């Protein structure tokens, strides 16, 4: 041990580095081993549990549709007459529902069978095989229920209550078995997730222990190396001071101290120690690292203030360029930018819609109440619409009393419903003491190969039709 303490710095650093690298190698090898185990469990989660969870959600939806179809049967049974077209439509819906449910159950079976065959299911294999048998039984029961339902439809309307009882019993049994299956699947997935979490905790604990040991050696090595470079820090401090002076006084050229020895000129201080020897102010810190930290902080603060001021100016200019000064919402310039981005995303399959909003009889508001009141109406309208937009929607003022709403990731049906909601909201809004207004809305959804002009033209045509039809309504193209 004493021999090692008296060895050269190179040998000391080499010895410490070898020990540190050995610890790191152990950490790496252990991490690789555990990561392989965790990877297998994560693959089971990704290939088995997540698809099972997604399919369960689909089956829950189909169960709700089954209840709605049964309620529809009761409604049709209460009617006086039932034509063949209604029967055909209902039979078709039941057939599609049965097919969807069978496909979902088949998908459940396929996921489990594939996992068993490829040995990706490592926990509760017997329980997974039992699930396959239950799925087979459910598929038979679902088909029997579908056949019984179709026979009921053929006898509608005015079906005796005694004939409904078997169907309700069969539905209750189907719901019970389906709920039992879904509960078992959920329990299995939760068990696998808990096991994976336990493995990860053990991995983190052992890795942390090895890592702390390596960290201790690394810290000792780092401190030893830092001590060996202390003599260089004075030169670095001098360079930073000269650089800082050049930032505050651009006309002053920073001096270049010699890193390998004292300066040959009287105007350059090579280190704080030399400065003290020459009669200058003593260093502010006994620790060169603390002095270096303070010098760096002062320089970075100066740079930070400069950059912050520039960022504030840029942000202010950007706000002025993209914000409508009257209403505080985005302006036409921002609209051009956003619609272009939406069109780019639409090429990847993301739907979006455009609404054009126009204030009905706004000229009368200006003529009867003055432009100041008209401006207030536009401001309140813009704020009200903004507060009731969905998170993925943006509102813009295109000019005058015309606004545009960009509804991102929104299909045609949802956009039309939202447009009608906004129209009703403005109609019912309490405008006092401002005059009450209504709005007309024209909308359109993206269709290939739309561009900004074609999409806006359709929305504008729809707005024209809404106004022509009497205003205060929504028209869609």
Q: How far is it, in rounded angstroms, from Cα 345 to Cα 413?
A: 19
List the structure tokens of 254: 């920073």
Q: How far is it, in rounded angstroms, from Cα 357 to Cα 311?
A: 35
What are residue 474's phi and psi, to 5 degrees? -115, 135
Q: How far is it, in rounded angstroms, from Cα 82 to Cα 155?
A: 10
List the structure tokens of 361: 């009889």
| Peptide linkage before 449 cis (omega within 30 of 0) | yes
**Catalytic site residue 41?**
no
Looking at 155-287, list the stretches that DSSP marks H as alpha helix, in order from N- to C-terminal side. 161-228, 230-248, 272-277
Smallest CA-to-CA distance from 264 within 256, 254, 252, 273 is with: 256
Helix, strand, coil abundance in the chain, percent, nearest 5:
70, 5, 20
Q: How far is it, in rounded angstroms, from Cα 402 to Cα 382?
A: 10
Q: How far is it, in rounded angstroms, from Cα 374 to Cα 366?
A: 5
DSSP three-state, residue 119: coil
Q: Which helix (H) or strand (E) holds 67?
A: helix 50-77
Q: Which of 44, 109, 288, 401 is catalytic?
A: 401
* Torsion (CA) 293, 296, 301, 302 in degrees, nearest 10: 150
Catalytic residue list? 401
């Amino acid at each position: 041990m004493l021999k090692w303490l008296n060895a050269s710095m190179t040998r000391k650093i080499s010895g410490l580095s070898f020990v540190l690298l050995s610890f790191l190698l152990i950490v790496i090898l252990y991490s690789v081993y555990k990561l392989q185990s965790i990877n297998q469990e994560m693959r089971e989660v990704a290939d088995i549990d997540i698809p099972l969870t997604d399919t369960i959600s689909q089956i829950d939806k189909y169960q709700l549709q089954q209840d709605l179809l049964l309620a529809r049967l009761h409604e049709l049974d209460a009617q006086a007459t039932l034509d063949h077209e209604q029967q055909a439509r209902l039979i078709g819906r039941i057939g599609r529902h049965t097919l969807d449910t069978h496909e979902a159950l088949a998908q459940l079976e396929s996921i489990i069978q594939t996992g068993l065959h490829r040995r990706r299911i490592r926990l509760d294999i017997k329980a997974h095989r039992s699930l396959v048998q239950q799925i087979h039984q459910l598929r038979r029961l679902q088909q029997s229920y579908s056949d019984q339902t179709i026979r009921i439809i053929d006898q509608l309307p005015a079906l005796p209550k005694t004939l409904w009882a078997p169907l309700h019993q069969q539905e209750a049994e189907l719901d019970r078995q389906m709920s039992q299956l879904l509960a078992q699947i959920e329990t299995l997935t939760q068990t696998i997730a808990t096991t994976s979490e336990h493995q990860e905790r053990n991995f983190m604990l052992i890795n942390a222990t090895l890592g702390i040991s390596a960290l201790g050696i690394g810290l000792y090595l780092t401190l030893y190396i830092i001590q060996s470079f202390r003599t260089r820090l004075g030169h670095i401090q001098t360079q930073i001071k000269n650089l800082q002076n050049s930032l505050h006084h651009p006309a002053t050229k920073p001096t270049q101290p010699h890193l390998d020895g004292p300066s040959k000129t009287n105007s350059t201080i090579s280190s704080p120690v030399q400065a003290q020897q020459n009669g200058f102010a003593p260093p502010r810190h006994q620790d060169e690292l603390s002095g270096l930290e303070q010098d760096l902080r002062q320089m970075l603060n100066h740079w930070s203030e400069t950059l912050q001021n520039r960022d504030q100016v840029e942000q202010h200019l950007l706000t002025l360029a993209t914000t409508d000064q009257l209403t505080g919402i985005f302006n036409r310039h921002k609209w051009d930018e956003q619609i272009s981005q939406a069109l780019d995303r639409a090429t990847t399959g993301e739907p979006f819609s455009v609404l054009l909003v126009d204030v009905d009889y706004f000229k009368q508001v200006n003529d009867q109440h003055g432009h100041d009141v008209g401006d207030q109406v536009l401001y309140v309208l813009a704020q009200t619409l903004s507060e009731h937009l969905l998170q993925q929607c943006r509102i813009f003022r295109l000019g005058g009393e015309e606004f545009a709403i960009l509804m991102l990731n929104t299909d045609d049906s949802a956009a039309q419903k939202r447009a009608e909601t906004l129209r009703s909201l403005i109609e019912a809004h309490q405008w006092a003491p401002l005059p009450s207004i209504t709005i007309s809305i024209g909308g359109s959804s993206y269709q290939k190969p739309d561009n900004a002009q074609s999409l806006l033209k359709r929305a504008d045509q729809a707005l024209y039709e809404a106004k022509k039809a009497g205003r205060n309504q929504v028209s869609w193209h």
